Amino acid sequence: MQLEGSVALVTGANRGLGCDFTRALLAAGASKVYAGARNPEPSDDPAVVPVRLDVTDPAQVADAAARLTDVTLVINNAGIGGGRTLLADDTVQVAREQIEVNYLGPLTVARAFAPVLAANGGGALVNIHSVLSWLAHPSAATYSASKAAVWSLTNSLRTVLRAQGTQVLGVHVGYIDTDMTEGIEAPKLTPAEVTAKVLEGIAAGREEVLVDQLSADVKSALPNDLELLYPNVQAEYDQAVAAATA
Ligand SMILES: NC(=O)c1ccc[n+]([C@@H]2O[C@H](COP(=O)([O-])OP(=O)(O)OC[C@H]3O[C@@H](n4cnc5c(N)ncnc54)[C@H](OP(=O)(O)O)[C@@H]3O)[C@@H](O)[C@H]2O)c1
């Protein structure tokens, strides 16, 4: 879809990747960005409209969809991390929260805004997945599962919304330098590198964006994932356990 003149809703827009989506969309010619946040903050830019939006609150999402009738592009960006092994005391509670935000949140927003997008000619819906949608990493086991769920959701949404002309785009990416990865020592992309690739994908009408080489490599290994990916994951995990018990 064309970004020039678009009206976007970005969830989780107050920091991290969501904040950069707002900047990048305006730079690409969006006429307005609704900056969804649990605690919205005023903006100096009249093109940025703060909106109270906790994606786990169906009433707030429904209210937003009823009011923001000019939206042509929805970016389901809000998400929570929280690395957990499967055997931690609070694993089930954390998994429940991640499913609420990372999977049921995008589902609720997509259902509420699908009629708005249809009324405005189709537009586009973007869901932010992760490379961990495809790679179950034991240090982030429950997060991986929530991102696998939203990837599956995106594939169904694409099928269902095609008839109304909505472009449905899934984004896979490794580490990005935001609060979510604070304390993780690894090469990270900047939010601007990620949003540039996503906006390019929207403008080109793509259905999937693999932002980095890691995501491309993991996707291409999927037919042989047990042989190609999991020996490394197992070795890393065994090493971490050995280090923790040494
Ligand atoms: N960082 C990475 O390495 C990485 C890699 C792959 C994918 N991702 C995905 O990229 C997206 C953005 O993450 P990020 O790196 O920018 O993380 P972040 O810096 O932690 O920001 C997360 C954003 O989500 C919002 N949020 C959390 N729960 C919410 C809820 N219930 N309703 C509405 N907003 C909520 C947060 O708002 P508050 O300020 O209110 O908490 C914040 O704005 C997420 O979907 C994440 O899973 C990140």
243: in domain: no
d(CA 18, CA 26): 13
Q: What spacing in Å lies between the alpha carbon of 224 and ligand 1's midpoint? A: 31
94: in domain: yes
How many domains are there within the chain?
A: 1
pLDDT value of position 85: 79
Q: Which residues contact 31 (CB under 8 A, 6 or more apart)?
A: 5, 6, 7, 47
Annotation says 175 is catalytic: no
219: in domain: no
pLDDT value of position 82: 87
Q: What spacing in Å lies between the alpha carbon of 245 and ligand 1's midpoint? A: 32
pLDDT in tens, 48-89: 999 999 999 999 999 999 999 999 999 999 999 987 778 889
Report the pocket of ligand 1 as residue ranges, CB < 6 Å.
11-12, 14-18, 37-39, 53-56, 77-80, 101, 105, 128, 130, 173, 175-176, 178-181
241: in domain: no
Task: Please give the model's pTM, rounded to 2 decimal places.
Answer: 0.96
156: in domain: yes
127: in domain: yes
Annotation says 197 is catalytic: no
Contact indicator for 62, 113 with CB cutoff of 8 Å: no
Amino acid at 35: A
pLDDT value of position 232: 93
Contact indicator for 194, 173 with CB cutoff of 8 Å: yes
Contact indicator for 78, 19 with CB cutoff of 8 Å: no
Q: Which CATH number belongs to the domain containing residue 107 in this structure? A: 3.40.50.720
Give the mean pLDDT per block of 10 residues along the chain (246 residues).
Answer: 98 98 98 98 97 98 98 98 86 97 98 98 98 94 97 96 97 98 95 98 98 98 92 91 90
Residue-range definition of the domain harbouring residue 13:
7-214
Contact indicator for 94, 145 with CB cutoff of 8 Å: no
